[in-house]
Amino acid sequence: MSAPYILVLYYSRHGATAEMARQIARGVEMAGLEARLRTVPSVSSDCEATAPAIPEDGALYVELDDLKNCAGLALGSPTRFGNMAAPLKYFIDGTSSLWLTGELVGKPAGVFTSTSSLHGGQESTLLSMLLPLLHHGMLVCGLPYSEGALLETRGGGTPYGPSHHAGADGKRKLDEHEIALCRALGQRLAATAAKLETPRG
Ligand X SMILES: Cc1cc2nc3c(=O)[nH]c(=O)nc-3n(C[C@H](O)[C@H](O)[C@H](O)COP(=O)(O)O)c2cc1C
Indicate the residue among 79 and 192 with the shorter CB distance to ligand X. 79
Which of residues 4 and 120 has its CB atom nearest to ligand X in the complex? 120
| Interface pick for ligand X out of 4, 15, 137, 142 (rule CB under 6 A) | 15
φ, ψ of residue 58 in degrees (nearest 5): 80, -160
Beta bridge partners of 5: 34
Minimum distance between the CB of residue 16 and ligand X, rounded to whole angstroms? 3
Comparing C-alpha atoms, which of 165, 151, 161 is closest to residue 129? 161
Round to whole Å and give the CA distance between 188 and 110: 9
Rank residues 3 and 168 by Cβ distance to ligand X and give the closer one: 168
Counting Cα atoms < 13 Å in the Cβ hemisphere of 31 gives 24
Angle, helix 176-196 to helix 16-30, in steps of 10 degrees: 50
Q: Tell me which stretch binds ligand X (CB under 6 A): 112-120, 131-139, 149-157, 184-192.
A: 112-120
Least distance (Å) between residue 52 CB and ligand X: 19
Distance CA 3, CA 59 (A): 19
* Mask for 51-80, x = binds ligand X (CB under 6 A): ---------------------------xxx
Cα-based torsion angle of the residue sequence 178, 133, 128, 159 in order, rounded to the nearest 10 degrees: -40
Does 39 participate in binding ligand X (rule CB under 6 A)? no
CB-nearest residue to ligand X? 120
- Interface residues toward ligand X, by CB under 6 A: 12-18, 78-82, 114-117, 120-121, 166, 170
